[in-house]
Structure 1
Amino acid sequence: MADEHYDAIVIGTSQGGRFLPVELAKAGQRVALVERDQLGGVCVNTGCTPTKTMVASARLASQARRGEEYGVRIGPVSVDLAVVRERKRAMVAGARQNYASRLAQDGLDLIEGEAHFTGPKTVEIVLTDGGTRQISAPVVVIDAGTRPKPLAITDAGDVPVLNSTSIMELDELPEHLIVLGGGYIGLEFGQMFRRFGSEVTIIQSAARLMMIEDEDVSDEVAAILRDDGITVLTSSTPVRVEPADGGRLRLTVRTQDGERQFEGSHLLSAIGRIPNTEALTLGAAGIRLNEHGFIEVDEYLETSVPGVYAMGDVKGGPAFTHLSYDDYRILHANLIRHEKASTWDRIVPYTVFIDPQLGRAGMTEREAKAQGRAIRVAKLPMSAVIRAIETGETRGFMKAVVDADSGQILGCAVLGSEGGEIMTMVQVAMLGKLTHTAMADAIFTHPLLAEGLNTLFAMFDA
């Protein structure tokens, strides 16, 4: 039997978890919010806030090096990684403080410790300061997030292996950073450290980078990274790593042409993330997991146990902060307003913060064809966009997929300067059910990057 009873328990404090318990308490419920580590989850502490702060430093370094192209004489550019790190830490500290201030709500009890289930609606918490608490509630929401997947190759335990968290604590630039993984985490850090001044090699086991994207997008991203001076290998599987002379490391990789070896000063593993579900003892509650250890939920975010919900990355699917926030929107509507909001048919956008950015919403060309849809595709190089030419940011392209019969926009990818912002305009058009003709005929301000959307969508009427 639990010692204390609440109306709701929320385990974890990510983007969704920081709003839901506050709103439940404002609605008159007694709420327990359990956090085992830092408030704010991955986004505030090790994800969006710190990484995009560092990406901004890297972009500025890159722009400074291009000064002479624009008639601006700056001189040699170098990066003080310790200062970059301190700026990042200050941003994180400010975000945590802002988060903590939101929790000052009557009826909300913040409990610091690690939670695990002892039954379907009962939770034991091993308190950070010692001791335990037993609590229960008719509604439990799991927002436990994910963590970097450990590197499991031969002798990985014999050398220092960085992950997406620890790499941001370096205070000296790596001479040669080897990045394992060609997803958005590996690409963002790879380009970032190249711009800081490191030699960078990216090794991807799959046939191309960013396998969720269309092949032409993946190929263009790889070309941009190579243009930045990054070595990119695909269809290359790491098999072992070992110490080398001078404190370096040697990585052996199996490629289509046989084994190759790379020596580097630092190794970053960006091979994916795994859910924080083991310590929760979900089996004691009867909560089902999928084959990858993520919590199974229905379209209302309810688990296999009625009254127990999961939100954010721990339930699998796209791991984005804005999706966690939309999970909060759904649970807020259903648990407080007693509606039937669901995840059905929601458009999930995302942006990769390489430079130029890759923003995407809706279906890829490959996904649309796999569904047997009749589609039309248009693609516009950024070199045809006036603003891109004027600013000297002409790498990449815009791409749109539309339904061949109705003209409805099914998806878009914008690989270009401020690609995420431009993509969001198309996403709004999709939400409003606009056709490609409406986008082609719209008046967009000249000369903006978004003006390229006129030209892109006019291609369908040509």
Structure 2
Amino acid sequence: MPEPEPYDALILGSGQAGTPLAAELGRAGWRVAIAEREHWGGTCVNEGCSPTKLMIACAETAHRARRARDYGVEAGPVRVDLGEVRRLKRELVASFAGGSERRLRGTQGVTPLLGHARFTGPGEVSVRTPQGERRLTAGHIFVNVGARPALPPVPGLGHVPHLLTSTSIMELDAVPGRLVVLGGGYVGLEFAQMFARFGSHVTVLHTGAQIVDREDEDVAGTLLGALREEGLDVHVLVRDLRVEPGPEGEATLHFRTPEGPCVRHTRHLLVATGRVPNTDSLGVEAAGIELDARGFIPVNADLETNVPGVYALGDVNGGPAFTHVAYDDYRLVRDRLLHGRGHLHRLPTYTLFTDPQLGRVGLSEREARARNLDILVATLPMAYVARAIETRRTAGMMKAVVDRKTHRILGAAVLGPEGGEVAATLQMAMLGGLPFTTLRDAVISHPTLAESLNNLFMTLGDVPPLAESDSVAFHPAGELHA
């Protein structure tokens, strides 16, 4: 058994928290080892944000080409070469992952190790590399091992010839004639619309009462209508799903909806019903690290586990499973350890890259009312937005929740063209503590999508700006901490 090698810090996983943290600690003079089991850069670079957004762009190009006549343009038949899309995706992933590895290897004080890491005792980790096993010890250990797609307990799921996850579906080299998607959340809807635009007949099965469960009913319903208008076969409140062998090598899916029993046939089924943390092979029991009932690692406000000196960053700690949150985990730990300072509370935000795109920041109306907040609610259909009308992309709506007394914006959903970008404008106003009247009365370039914020807040009526004596000291969204 090799003798343990001492380090100042060990980082398990090279995701959007682990990679920058390793580089930052190395530059600060720490001796750092970072172990990566599969691919440098983590889920976002290899299987998540980067490759999926490229593929969505390819699908959008096909969709726009098919809509050319709507803009007075004559175009020929559209055919998607999914093999070429896959090549572009692989090329992008290789570039981003290679860049992550090069940056790590080029940082003084950082030792990158490709291999499976697991705890072998308190403060000790074993890494199984192609060159052999290495034992490492450190006073600071950071777990950034992420999560993977979960398979739901659906009877007969194994009868599907091509059972796909969000990772394997991106490796298809031909467009399926039919695709069934289990799950109406962010991952399921992005892939559902993507493959519908590639040319598949897509069915979405969701057990919840509405797609994108956390959104307000009107926002979710508007998105559902847009997807159905585009031809997607979307079902909610799905019950009693089971899979049986079908004709000609297909699988037959039986299920019930409020309208009655349904049957669908497919050779391809995408499972997008959630993710499970990669803690089952981490040996956490050897280090005394506690897990919750779902296998995630609970942490305190400093992202430290129940074991002093051991931290959990990114998806594995059970927080919001977004790349930007994982990156902020790195910044929080960096600020605590290297600069001895606290970290601002987060303002929750995310973007769903469907079309219409959904940008969300802060509280929904449902969340605000659940907290018994005194609010005003502003809504505006995208059909009333000049830029959306001019570009013939009027599906969607805008919605903002405002504190009645302080006029501060508590949250917003922007469902429409570049919804995430417009939501970021609202986020900046929220971070700056601006009352909604500032955006209502701002002179914004015409005709832009952001200009519609004037109109959105005009729907609240003739509300005067707050007097200076009524202004409230601003602390960045502490009540919205995720």
CA contact (8 A) 1:202 1:230 kept: yes
Mapping of residues 390-409 of structure 1, within 5 Å: 390-409=390-409
Distance, in Å, in 2 between the alignment partners of 1:115 and 1:335 is: 24
Can you list the C-alpha shifts for 1:311-368, whole angstroms capped at 9, x where unaligned? 11111121111111111111111121122326xx310210000011000000000000
Q: Note if 1:279 corresponds to 2:281.
A: yes
Counterpart of 1:106 in structure 2 is 108
- Superposition deviation, residue 377 in structure 1: 0.2
Distance, in Å, in 2 between the alignment partners of 1:436 and 1:460 is: 10
Counterpart of 1:339 in structure 2 is 341
- Superposition deviation, residue 258 in structure 1: 4.5
- Superposition deviation, residue 433 in structure 1: 0.3
Mapping of residues 62-461 of structure 1, within 5 Å: 62-103=63-104, 104-127=106-129, 129=130, 131-159=132-160, 160-237=162-239, 239-341=241-343, 345-461=345-461
Distance, in Å, in 2 between the alignment partners of 1:410 and 1:29 is: 41
Distance, in Å, in 1 between the alignment partners of 2:107 and 2:140 is: 19
Counterpart of 1:49 in structure 2 is 50
The 1:282–1:2 alpha-carbon spacing in structure 2 relative to 1, beyond 3 Å, is farther
- Superposition deviation, residue 118 in structure 1: 1.7
- Superposition deviation, residue 58 in structure 1: 0.6
CA contact (8 A) 1:414 1:420 kept: yes
Distance, in Å, in 1 between the alignment partners of 2:86 and 2:199 is: 15
Can you list the C-alpha shifts for 1:174-224, whole angstroms capped at 9, x where unaligned? 111000000010000000000011100000011110111111111111101
For structure 2, list consecutive stretches of 5 or more residues without a partner in the other structure: 463-482
The alignment covers a number of residue pairs equal to 459
Counterpart of 1:5 in structure 2 is 6
CA contact (8 A) 2:159 2:251 kept: no
Can you list the C-alpha shifts for 1:219-273, whole angstroms capped at 9, x where unaligned? 1111011001001100003532123222221111133354322111311100111
Q: In structure 2, the residue corresponding to 1:449 is in which secondary structure? A: coil
Q: In structure 2, the residue corresponding to 1:361 is in which secondary structure? A: strand
For structure 1, list consecutive stretches of 5 or more residues without a partner in the other structure: none
Can you list the C-alpha shifts for 1:125-158, whole angstroms capped at 9, x where unaligned? 122x153111110000000000000232112223
Distance, in Å, in 2 between the alignment partners of 1:227 and 1:325 is: 36
Distance, in Å, in 1 between the alignment partners of 2:376 and 2:152 is: 41
- Superposition deviation, residue 41 in structure 1: 0.6
CA contact (8 A) 2:9 2:33 kept: yes
Distance, in Å, in 2 between the alignment partners of 1:64 and 1:257 is: 35
CA contact (8 A) 1:149 1:274 kept: yes
Can you list the C-alpha shifts for 1:88-138, whole angstroms capped at 9, x where unaligned? 1111111112112211111111111111112221111122x1531111100
Tell me the amino acid that sits aligned with residue 335 of structure 2: A
Distance, in Å, in 1 between the alignment partners of 2:153 and 2:88 is: 33
Tell me the amino acid that sits aligned with residue 183 of structure 2: G
CA contact (8 A) 1:238 1:251 kept: no
Distance, in Å, in 2 between the alignment partners of 1:142 and 1:84 is: 34
State TM-score, norm by structure 1.
0.97
Distance, in Å, in 1 between the alignment partners of 2:353 and 2:140 is: 37
- Superposition deviation, residue 286 in structure 1: 1.5
The 1:325–1:238 alpha-carbon spacing in structure 2 relative to 1, beyond 3 Å, is farther
| Aligned-pair identity (%) | 49
CA contact (8 A) 1:11 1:33 kept: yes
Can you list the C-alpha shifts for 1:284-319, whole angstroms capped at 9, x where unaligned? 212121221111011111111111111111111211
CA contact (8 A) 1:49 1:92 kept: yes
Tell me the amino acid that sits aligned with residue 196 of structure 2: R
- Superposition deviation, residue 426 in structure 1: 0.1
CA contact (8 A) 2:4 2:135 kept: yes
Distance, in Å, in 2 between the alignment partners of 1:47 and 1:237 is: 29
Can you list the C-alpha shifts for 1:26-84, whole angstroms capped at 9, x where unaligned? 00010000001000110000000110000000111111111111111112111111111
